[in-house]
Structure 1
Amino acid sequence: MRDPEPSQSSPAPVSAGQIRHFRYYDLVMAAFVAILLLSNIIGASKLSTVGSVTFGAGILFFPLSYVIGDVLTEVYGYARARRVIWTGFAAMIFMAVMSWVVVAMPADRDWGCAGADLLLLKTAGEGTGPICQATYESVFGSTWRIVVASITAFWAGEFVNSYVLARMKLWTRGKHLWSRTIGSTIFGQAFDSLLFYPIAFLGIWPTHLVVTVMITNWLMKVGWEAVLTPVTYAVVDLLKRLEGVDVYDEGTDFNPFGAKV
């Protein structure tokens, strides 16, 4: 059993079940959920092409949730990361229900929105409401396939990411953090991309486009993780010093449906 008392010079290695209270865990959880929801609301279904590369626009910010997921598992352990993943999962379901209800509500005839006045003549006297409703739906309205794809891919990808990182930390005895963050992202993002794009767009987009975007996004996510490795190192080191611990998942129940923390 590792010594639970932190030293003054560096965080003390401890088993996951030994520590119950953390100072910054809730803040990291809040950051994770916020980035998760915002990246799904704003960038999930938009395609962008830069040069000859086509990718989902959400790729620019969504990988930050994976970086925070790595930080959670590395600093606080798999069980507490599991709790955050389920919190994000619940938040995504609420976001989907709220979006469906708000989008489905009838629009006021004179509801004004950006750009509506320019298109007013096309409504033949029906007011700006229909234009604003269509615009609103194009931004916040998602098909059931995109909703299911987002929630499913997130759940599977995050749990794979956290599991691989926690296991690799035991295998490497806490050394070579870069190998754990990049290695877990390779597997976690592979599950995420393999689930999201086929579920959301196969049969809607041409098959070759689905495959292209799926592979491109996976490579870009892994690339982002590699680029952000120095940031991950800095955040992990800071949190370990502030919390005074270095959690190892010895004896942890890796069942994603487990409740023990």
Structure 2
Amino acid sequence: MTQGDFGVRAIRADAATGTHFRYFDFVMAAFVTVLLLSNVIGAGKVAELGGVTFGAGILFFPLGYVIGDVLTEVYGYARARRCIWAGFVALLFMALMSWVVVSLPPAAGWLGQDAYETVFGQVPRIVFASIIAFWAGEFVNSFVMARMKIWTKGKALWSRTIGSTIVGQGVDSLIFYPLAFLGVWETRQVLIVMATNWAMKVAWEAVLTPVTYAVVGSLKRREGVDVFDTGTNFTPFRTRV
């Protein structure tokens, strides 16, 4: 099998079944951490820079897609799929925990309830839209990334990181904004915000391309393999590697 941009041994994904990778667990932990923190810390604040208003989480949420690209590129679709399911379950638990904690009656004299409700008491519709959009967008991103790697024979990593983000973030935005805000905001505003945020996320991915190259190259050299998803079962409905 051909070698890609980084000159390490190329293998089929099924040949890596049962292989223990030294850094996979750390990358998965980073993926879930960025996902949760961008939704908890970033989602609650609306910021403005240079006259542009945006949700603060957009600065860090795309890092989840970058790490998702790294997972698929280095470890293959099956292991990326496992991480996406881990993130999905973590988001569900976060939503449940937030609802329980906010709903608990505050103790007499405790003055933090309003702050908790502001930060963690998100509208259920928005939470549902966010979780569904993440699930669909990440799987599309990973699928496109894996298929493009085969088409490009492992060359031109930039083309598949940006290409997969264009499609994956497009699916994410097309699901999230209508589900979360259609009927609450004017349709025109939903479309404008959807297009603006999609463009910002794709641009952010492009800006981070040198970082992606550095991380991918380092991990491939340290792991000693370059996984190609030839013959991979791309169903999202499994977690087995």
TM-score interval, smaller chain: over 0.9
- Structure 1 segments of 4 or more deviating over 6 A? none
Q: Find out whether 1:44 has 2:43 as its counterpart.
A: yes
Q: Of 150, 159, 163, which aligns to 2:130?
A: 150
Quick check: 161-170 or 51-60, which moved more?
51-60
Quick check: 50-59 or 225-234, which moved more?
50-59
Q: CA RMSD in A?
A: 1.6
Contact 2:42/2:57, CA 8 A, preserved across alignment: yes
Contact 2:31/2:68, CA 8 A, preserved across alignment: yes
Amino acid at match of 1:249: D
Match of 1:16 in 2: 13
1:129-155 deviation digits (Å, cap 9, x = unpaired): 4xx212210111111101101110100
Quick check: 93-102 or 199-208, which moved more?
199-208
Distance 1:47 1:164 in 2: 31
What's the TM-score once normalised by structure 1's chain length?
Answer: 0.87
- Residues 111-190 of structure 1 mapped to structure 2, 5 A cutoff: 111=110, 129=111, 132-190=112-170
SS of structure 2 residue aligned to 1:258: coil
Contact 1:75/1:247, CA 8 A, preserved across alignment: yes
Amino acid at match of 1:29: M
Quick check: 53-62 or 173-182, which moved more?
53-62
Q: Give the Å deviation of 1:169.
A: 0.2
Q: Give the Å deviation of 1:190.
A: 0.5
Match of 1:105 in 2: 104
Alpha carbons of structure 1 residues 259 and 61: separation in structure 2 relative to 1, 3 Å: closer
Relative contact order: is structure 1 or structure 2 higher (C-alpha 8 Å, sep ≥ 6)?
2
- Residues 28-107 of structure 1 mapped to structure 2, 5 A cutoff: 28-107=27-106
Distance 2:233 2:78 in 1: 8
Q: Give the Å deviation of 1:257.
A: 0.6
Q: Give the Å deviation of 1:45.
A: 4.6
Alpha carbons of structure 1 residues 260 and 109: separation in structure 2 relative to 1, 3 Å: closer
Amino acid at match of 2:74: V
Distance 1:213 1:57 in 2: 14
Q: May I ask how many residue pairs the two structures share in their alignment?
A: 237
Contact 2:74/2:220, CA 8 A, preserved across alignment: yes
Amino acid at match of 1:228: L
Distance 2:122 2:187 in 1: 20
Distance 1:56 1:22 in 2: 36
SS of structure 1 residue aligned to 2:87: helix
Q: Structure 1: 5+ residue runs without aligned partners?
A: 112-128
What's the TM-score once normalised by structure 2's chain length?
Answer: 0.94
* Greater Cα radius of gyration, structure 1 or 2: 1
1:154-187 deviation digits (Å, cap 9, x = unpaired): 0000000000000000000000000000000000
